Amino acid sequence: MPDRFSEIKKQLIQMRDELMKEVSDSYETCREMGQDGVPDIGDMSSIAYNRDVLFNLSETQQQRIRDIEAALNRIAEGEYGICMECGEEISPRRMEVRPFSRYCIECKTDIEKNGA
């Protein structure tokens, strides 16, 4: 692995560890909801809503963890910073802002427009 990616790798690992802790904390909060007595209908509705929010948040966080893992794999394979669609280098500014980016701005825009 080139030295130029060692800091990025550290950053990605730190991001992954923080997200994993957030997912774990969200899961624990969700598990504890409704465990503090007999809830009335309003409490049950609120608990269900909060569980849904936490579940969706966790799904988003889990996807981000998968994205980070994929970026770490691309570093190991020497493909980090290369667009998976067109094969061109992803701009350093984009990689700085989103170090787990898979696509350059142009390809990402095309993918989002076409729903691919």
pTM of the model: 0.68
Class of domain 1-80: mainly alpha
Q: Which residue has the higher pLDDT, 100 or 55?
A: 100
Segment 81-87 shows an average pLDDT of: 96
Answer whether residue 43 shows pLDDT above 70.
no
Q: For residue 47, what are its two tokens?
A: 């608990």
Answer whether residue 40 shows pLDDT above 80.
no
Euclidean distance between CA atoms 95 and 76, whole angstroms: 16
**Residue partners of 76: CB distance under 8 A and separation at least 6:** 1
What residues does each domain of the chain span? 1-80, 81-116
Q: Any idea which of 12-16, 29-33, 79-83 has the lowest mean pLDDT?
A: 29-33
20's enclosing H/E stretch is: helix 6-32
Angle, in degrees to the nearest 10, between helices 6-32 and 41-77: 160
Q: What secondary structure does DSSP assign to 34-97, as a single string?
A: T-SS---HHHHHHHHHHHHHHHHHHHHHHHHHHHHHHHHHHHHHT-TTB-TTT-PBPPHHHHHH
